[in-house]
Amino acid sequence: MLKSLVYALSDNRTITGFLSRRGMSSGFARRFVAGETLEDAVRCVRELNGKGIPCSLNFLGEHVKDRRMAAAVVDSYLAALDGIQEQKLDSNLSVKPSQLGLDIDFDFCLANLQTVMERAARYGLFVRIDMEGSEYTERTLELHRKIRERFPLVGTVIQSMLRRSAGDIRDLNAMKSRVRLVKGAYKEPPAVAFQKKSEVDEWFQRLSEMLLRDGVFPALATQDPAMIDHAVRFADRNRIPKESYEFQMILGVRRDLQESLKKEGYGVRVYVPFGKQWLPYFMRRLAERPANILFVLRNLIAER
């Protein structure tokens, strides 16, 4: 119900226009987004690194359908990699295929991704290919397969809400590829995705076990204590060392949990998004938890 409401609001131009105008100036969007510029992101990553927390930097935006715009995105990714290297940040990079032109042409997107990977390889930096809606899943996995032939420091993302994900994880484990597991934040039809939270949670736990048992340094991306507890207990029972996996969380959510896990010796990485195209990402964060919506409302009321 909550997700459906937020998705409906995301199509309302009055609502989205208001959020776009006020999100950064009022400050409530900055809980989940580092800012609109690379300088904002570098500042945020440096602060997290100062607390001993590594990051994954992501330049926001999606569904680019113009080749010149895709080229500009490539430049932004290259600048982000340069910034990580020059500032000596403890961060890797996450990229979205639809930003790199996957809606335009597969080979065009692959060439753009290769340009990004060449720069990352020069610095010895890891790059994660983000997963978007289910209509992109197969093409994104094919991009990953092809680019990995030349660049081993690349991984991808699997969503536990998709019915196909167990098979995808088996294939990726066999390739010895690094996987980030997420629940998934896109609106999907019942034919391809589980609709009940209980089902999505159950499959997150099952897929976590597959990754912990047979994967290569898996990243379990969740702020859900139940999912974290399940993974920790499974790892302990199977004598899987803490150093062989990590938890990932999004900026601004469950900072208390990030700190407690870190103190207990678990690896924790924070996903740090930035850029002017922050609204779709922000709306997905609102859809995930009622507390996120209450946080925004409290900030707007306080401002008035």
> Active-site positions?
130, 180
CA distance 136 to 130: 10
CA distance 89 to 84: 5
CA distance 281 to 185: 9
CA distance 10 to 49: 33
93 neighbors 124 (Cβ within 8 angstroms): no
Residue 122 structure tokens: 């020069």
Nearest by Cα to 154 from 162, 164, 143, 165? 143
The alpha carbon of residue 117 and the mean position of all alpha carbons in its chain are separated, in whole angstroms, by 18
CA distance 94 to 219: 13
Interior CA angle at 88 toward 84 and 94, to 5°? 25
Name the β-bridge partners of 94: 58, 128
Residue 125 structure tokens: 């930096």
The single residue listed with the structure tokens 């997905």 is 284
Residue 201 backbone dihedrals phi, psi, to 5 degrees = -65, -45
Could you give the angle at which helices 13-26 and 279-288 cross, rounded to 10 degrees? 100
Residues sharing a CB contact under 8 Å with residue 66, sequence separation 6 or more, in sequence order: 104
